[in-house]
Structure 1
Amino acid sequence: MTIADESYWMDSTPATAYPALAGDLDVDALVVGGGIAGLSTAWELTEAGRTVALVEADMIAAGVTGYTTAKLSVLHTLIYDKVRTSFGPDAARHYAESQHQAVERVAAVASRLGIDCDLERVPAFTYVESPSELDAIRAEADAAAGAGLPASFVTDTDLPFPVAGAVRVENQAQFHPRRYLLALAEDLTSRGGQIFERTRATGLDDGDPCRVRTELGHTITARQVVIATHYPVFDRALLFARLEPRRELVVAGAIPAELAPDSVSITPDQNTRSVRTAPYGDGRRLLIVTGEHFTPGADDVAGRWERLIAWTRERFPGTSIAYRWATQDNTTTDRVPFIGRFHPGTENVYVATGFGGWGMSTGVLTGQLLAGSLTGEEPPWAHLYDPRRLNLAREAGSMLKLQAKVAGHFLGDRVRPSHADTTADIEPGNGAVVRVRGQHCAAYRDPDGGLHAVSARCTHLGCLVHFNAAETAWECPCHGSRFGIDGAVIQGPANRPLERRDLPAEPSPATSPVGDKHATRAPETGGAS
């Protein structure tokens, strides 16, 4: 059976067709970014009576949100013990309250609007298989219960393999995110909200009012602006120093309903394994497994796919893999998302980022928090997520480690030899960074042998991109920007494409030096250097 390189959520819903912005605009609030955080915020502000516009560089609910696993849970692996230790027990309680309110908000809105989004209430588990990891599980169960959640330590789950122990939290959920969000968008526009697709924001004047410029030269004037672009495309607060990008792989396949677990589960072991299911018809469920997290630009992505598929077939025999896709998120250096005023010098610009892989509940929470902040009814737990917080005692180690990694790429990738010596080393279907006339070029050879070359410098902060052969994309290992082979931006923080480069004519095979040690060397396809 052929495995589709597509998300099930995208494959099972129609494409959207909202217009591009065609002229200047004036609104109360502008939301930049059309994922779950942006759509939830725009919808909540419309509910509050504000005139709202949302702009999305591509199509709504089709970026990170379209490639999620769509667990709707307050149980975020091992977060509560970390928050309790770093911020105190009150902070852990506020984290639990805010995430719980988000889960219930989805259920309430789906019921009120009559949205058929396959919402199912199930228990959530964080488990480990090794007894040596039980101390962390017991601590998490204690912290989650202390935060007010219906959490307990258990040794049994409904997974088809034994576990050493798990945290169990009752009455969590799973749903179809695109069906929910497309219905939310329809309701938003029916009540006067405006959505503009294919409208990339490229400039921000942070004033009173604010002005946002778009790629085509139009200006949107707004009293307040929300940057909900996953990774901030405008970074006046230098949040890139406190955000670490992480990419994960997903596989999904049909399984008999009687063999499907009736829960959502995750383990930090084995480089993460996350499991849920969805209705799939004809007595089957769609098993969705996530894992193999890595930094964008890492090597051997194809091998990671193989490991994830092998684990899925071993643990759930008979699964017929039908889909595979990848997702990406950012984690803050203190593990709590940044949601609130962008930086100390602004009163009118807000940001939402750093969801740490839990974008469904946190995206909905973003709408509740920011709508409350913008209308003067800030929730009591808003301060926990304030992006202006900085505790060096808590974050210094993580920040130094993150910046050392970035510096290693920014400097090291420039002084080490090129990822390939010449374009002749690049086989069809692969890409590599080569030096051409003293400049680094990102060159890709298509299956027909044609070469496509762009600048290898990421347009965000100038790190050299690496090639992801499994997904045919150029990726920045520093901050996670992703580009197509033509240089077009797939994923920010970059908001400008890689510039095209002209390559000199390649020598014919007959003129290659005999005995050249590079003549038959296989190219590096994963981008690691």
Structure 2
Amino acid sequence: MSEQAGTSGSYWLQTLPPGEPAPAPQSDLTVDVAVIGGGIAGLSTAWELVRRGREVAVFEADRIAAGVTGHTTAKVSAQHTLIYDRLRRSRGAEGARLYARSQLEAIRHAAETAHELGIDCDWEDTAAYTYVQGRHRVPELRAEAEAAREAGLPAEFTTETDLPFPVAGAVRVTEQAQFHPRKYLMALADSLRRGGGRLYEGTRVVGLTEGEPCVLTTDQGVRISARDVVVATHYPIFDRALLFTRLTPRRELVIAAPVPEAQAPDGMYITPEHRTRSVRTAPYRDGQRLLLITGEHFTPGTSRDVEERFDALTGWARRHFGELQITHRWATQDNESSDSVPLVGLLHPRTRHVYVASGFGGWGMTGGIMAGRLLCDLITGRECPWSGLYDPRRIASVVREGGQFLKNQAKVARHFVGDRVPPLASGPRPPVDDLAPGDGTVVQSGGRHVAVHRDENGELHAVAARCTHMGCLVSFNRAERAWECPCHGSRFAPDGSVLQGPAVRPLQPREL
């Protein structure tokens, strides 16, 4: 059984919890740039634009830096598992160099920003490693080390690490970093406000009309006019560019436990083996560091055994690091683009004023900072060497990566079609009478699919079972008490309220 008792959620949120929320706008307003989403990409973009003299407002549906950014592992690294050899083959040597340069400059820019603003964000310079234990994958790592070095990273192949277990090989990249993401971003938000930027929390944007100006509509009926709009909602909430056909959501689990400082690994580690295992540490207390381990990735809405996945991750951690006392556990969600390169730039070919930042594939810290600088350049008319690399309108790379693109869409199609004919998708589901407290299931009632949850007091709660984004059937995640859509990763609370997009409207209540 999983050891949930005694564990809390995200360490970043626990150590810097949200304060009083910034109020939602009470009347219509006009700004130069409206940024939708208060994570690292949205706040970085807004901060850069304010420094260039633009009047900017940020609209966050929940609390800033508390969504995906508040649940990251917070590696500030240009070493993204096994990306450079793939880029060298798919985008050429110049594409790999531009990717490396943009990510390295994001690290340097974050370090300079923390110094300039005097941010105490637990910044630590360290090395990043991608390792494998299976010898058959060593040639893959040697090729990655060579490609990363050619791209401009301080990279080398090695068999030596400070992990407490042997590895067959690793790519080591120096001059990388790790930090406390909320300490960094909350200071950035304060600087943004001092510079004249505006922040609105509890403000969900539900409509966009493109034009000159563009007009946004919130769930409270407020209208925002803006010359330019940035959609930085992790998964784009507006699908007019059909980006949902090029993005695959992935959810991963995180556990954390204190270890003696002398036993803590110095570097940041990741392996593509074992459904991914990522390891880093953070400053803790009493001569200890907090060991953070991430892995067990899965598509949201496709796994009813999330608790077992937490157990598997905990078991792996204890086999390799000793008898750990798990103090925190949470989950994070990322979106992978079909060609592994983020989508940052104009939203679609016909727009001139709507921009997007998405598809960071688990590397949102450097990706978000890079996106902020790139979008600021695009909006203010400055040249950026890597704008073409990240342009969401690119076609050639999608054609080259057609196999992954088709695989992604076949998976979505199975749910989209299969959820509309019996039997219900996602395997066997317990009948309502057999639901244990804390569990949920999808049933047919009155000719409609209904999502039913039994709370800890035994009371049943029923909501519509079709995701309000594109109508796929949701599935219940027992470990996190959430309804999840397997098509594009939208997540809903048991009462139907939106936890995570691209859906912007809740699941409506239903009668059984």
TM-score (norm 1): 0.94
2:339 paired residue among 315, 318, 334: 334
Which string of whole-angstrom CA distances, capped at 9 and with x for unpartnered residues, describes residues 175-221 of structure 1?
00000000000010011000000000000011111110100001111
- Aligned position for 1:14: 17
Partners of 1:280 and 1:320 in 2: how far apart? Answer: 14
Q: Distance in 2 between matches of 1:120 and 1:370?
A: 27
* Pairwise CA distance, 1:20: 1.1
- Do the aligned partners of 1:30 and 1:53 also contact (CA within 8 Å) in 2? yes
Structure 2 partner of 1:134: 138
- Could you tell me which residue of structure 2 aligns to residue 24 of structure 1? 28
Residue number in structure 2 paired with 1:427: 436
Q: Which residue of 1 aligns with 2:413?
A: 407
When structure 1 is superposed on structure 2, of 383-392 and 419-428 the one drifting more is 419-428
Matched, 1:383 2:388: yes
Superposed CA offset, 1:224-261 (max 9, x none): 00000000011110100000000000000100000001
The one-letter code of the counterpart of 2:167 is V
* Deviation at residue 492 of structure 1 after TM alignment: 0.2
User: CA shift at 1:115, angstroms?
Assistant: 0.3
Residue 4 of structure 1 is aligned with which of 2, 7, 12? 7
SS of corresponding position for 1:443: strand
**Secondary structure of the residue that 1:305 maps to in structure 2?**
helix
Counterpart Cα distance in 2 of 1:3 and 1:79 = 38
Q: Which residue identity lines up with residue 9 of structure 1 in the other structure?
A: W
329 and 147 in structure 1: CA distance in 2 versus 1, 3 angstrom threshold? same
1:304-343 matches, cutoff 5 A: 304-343=309-348
Partner residue of 2:477 out of 463, 468, 472 = 468
For 2:219, the equivalent position in structure 1 comes to 215
Structure 1: runs of 5 or more not aligned: 504-529
Match of 1:365 among 366, 370, 373: 370
- What displacement does 1:114 show? 0.4
Instruction: Say whether 1:351 aligns with 2:356.
Output: yes
Q: Distance in 2 between matches of 1:82 and 1:446?
A: 46
Instruction: Establish whether residue 118 from structure 1 lines up as the match of residue 122 from structure 2.
Output: yes
8 A Cα contact 2:258 2:284, kept in partner? yes
Select the residue among 439, 448, 452 that pairs with 2:448. 439
Find the residue that maps to 2:89 and give its secondary structure: helix
CA–CA distance in 2 between the matches of 1:208 and 1:387?
A: 21
User: Where does residue 231 of structure 1 map in the other structure?
Assistant: 235
Structure 1 CA distance for aligned equivalents of residues 383 and 511 of structure 2:
53
Please give the per-residue CA displacement for 1:378-415, whole angstroms capped at 9, x wherever unaligned.
31111100000012531321121111111111122332
Q: CA deviation at 1:376?
A: 1.1
1:277-296 to structure 2, matched below 5 A, reads 277-296=281-300
Using the TM superposition, give the Cα deviation of residue 371 of structure 1 relative to its aligned residue in structure 2, in angstroms. 0.5
How much has 1:420 moved relative to structure 2? 4.1
CA distance in structure 2 between the aligned counterparts of 1:39 and 1:440, rounded to whole angstroms: 39
* In structure 2, distance between residues paired with 1:264 and 1:214: 40
Alpha-carbon spacing, 1:312–1:375, altered in 2? closer, same or farther (3 Å): same
1:189 and 2:219 equivalent? no
The aligned amino acid for 1:408 is: R
Q: Measure the CA separation in 1 of the matches of 2:112 and 2:375.
A: 19
SS in 2 for 1:270: coil
- Paired letter, 2:307: A
For 1:447-526, what aligned pairs fall within 5 Å after superposition? 447-503=456-512
In 1: Cα distance, 2:6 partner to 2:385 partner: 46
The one-letter code sitting in structure 2 at the alignment partner of 1:311 is: W
Aligned counterparts of 1:187 and 1:289: Cα–Cα separation in 2: 32
Identity %: 59
CA distance in 2, matches of 1:361, 1:318: 33
Matching residue of 1:519:
none
Cα offset for 1:81? Answer: 0.7
Equivalents in 1 of 2:184, 2:324: separation in Å? 27
> Using the alignment, how far apart are the partners of 2:314 and 2:226 within structure 1?
47
Aligned partners of 1:14, 1:499: CA distance in 2, in Å? 30
Which letter maps to 2:241? Answer: A
User: Which amino acid in 1 is paired with 2:233?
Assistant: T
Alpha carbons 2:430, 2:441 under 8 Å: kept: no
- 4+ runs of 1 displaced by more than 6 Å? none
